[in-house]
Chain A
């Protein structure tokens, strides 16, 4: 099976712009979670989607949003970008989130100038 894929891999934006990141989970996985990884704050949970519904949300401002489509693909949007949003954004998918097992994609590296 193909792993979790994320597009684009690299992105440069300027402050105030918005950005949309895409994640395709492993085939058959219905749960998709998003994480932000920065040198300062480490790996932090953003939100989780399961069967097109946001099931869990981390402690991030409303500028961070997401959605999941009927084929389980997910998108994450960040509006009004700030310099501090520069990070590696990781997506992870799970066949059964009740087990805790999830598989990460390679991430999208976002640089905000």
Chain B
């Protein structure tokens, strides 16, 4: 059972365009939603994260939109650049034993053409 569904699996965008990646979750116990960026040969790096008490969070060109009632959240990358080409993972985390334990989406491979 896939608790966090991520789409699309792959995405091709032109330089300067907007990249949009969507995630949906089922378990209402999740209350921390990070996005990670992973380049080949590297570990995932935290990009931006949101908690369910806000509907949107923006950091530079990256924005998370969160819809609690629909149990969906999305990552928008504005003015996409070739250097943004990477795999992006959403995660939904729940508090357990004093820590947040993430459940990851399957990832989106983003290619930004120059």
A-side residues, CB < 8 A to B, are: 4, 31, 33, 42-45, 48, 50, 55-56, 58, 90, 92, 94, 97-107
A107 partner residues in chain B, CB cutoff 8 A: 42-43
Judge whether A44 and B43 touch: CB under 8 Å: no
Question: For window 36-66 of chain B, which residues contact chain A by CB distance below 8 Å?
Answer: 36, 41-46, 49
- Is B15 on the interface with A (CB-CB < 8 A)? no
Judge whether B42 and A55 touch: CB under 8 Å: no
Q: Closest 9 interchain pairs by CB?
A: A104-B43, A97-B99, A100-B100, A43-B104, A100-B32, A55-B97, A42-B106, A104-B44, A56-B97
B-side residues, CB < 8 A to A, are: 32, 34, 36, 41-46, 49, 89, 93, 95-107
A4 partner residues in chain B, CB cutoff 8 A: 43
Shortest CB–CB separation between residue B96 and chain A, in angstroms? 6
- With A42-B105, A100-B49, A100-B93 already in contact, the answer to whether A56 and B99 are too (CB < 8 A) is yes
Shortest CB–CB separation between residue B62 and chain A, in angstroms? 16
Judge whether B100 and A97 touch: CB under 8 Å: yes
B93 partner residues in chain A, CB cutoff 8 A: 100
- What 12 new A-B contacts, CB under 8 Å, besides A48-B97, A92-B43? A31-B99, A33-B99, A43-B107, A55-B97, A90-B43, A97-B99, A98-B95, A98-B100, A104-B43, A104-B44, A104-B45, A106-B42
B99 partner residues in chain A, CB cutoff 8 A: 31, 33, 48, 50, 55-56, 94, 97-98
A33 partner residues in chain B, CB cutoff 8 A: 99
The CA of A55 and the CA of B101, in the complex, are separated in Å by 11
The CA of A107 and the CA of B101, in the complex, are separated in Å by 19
Judge whether B98 and A43 touch: CB under 8 Å: no
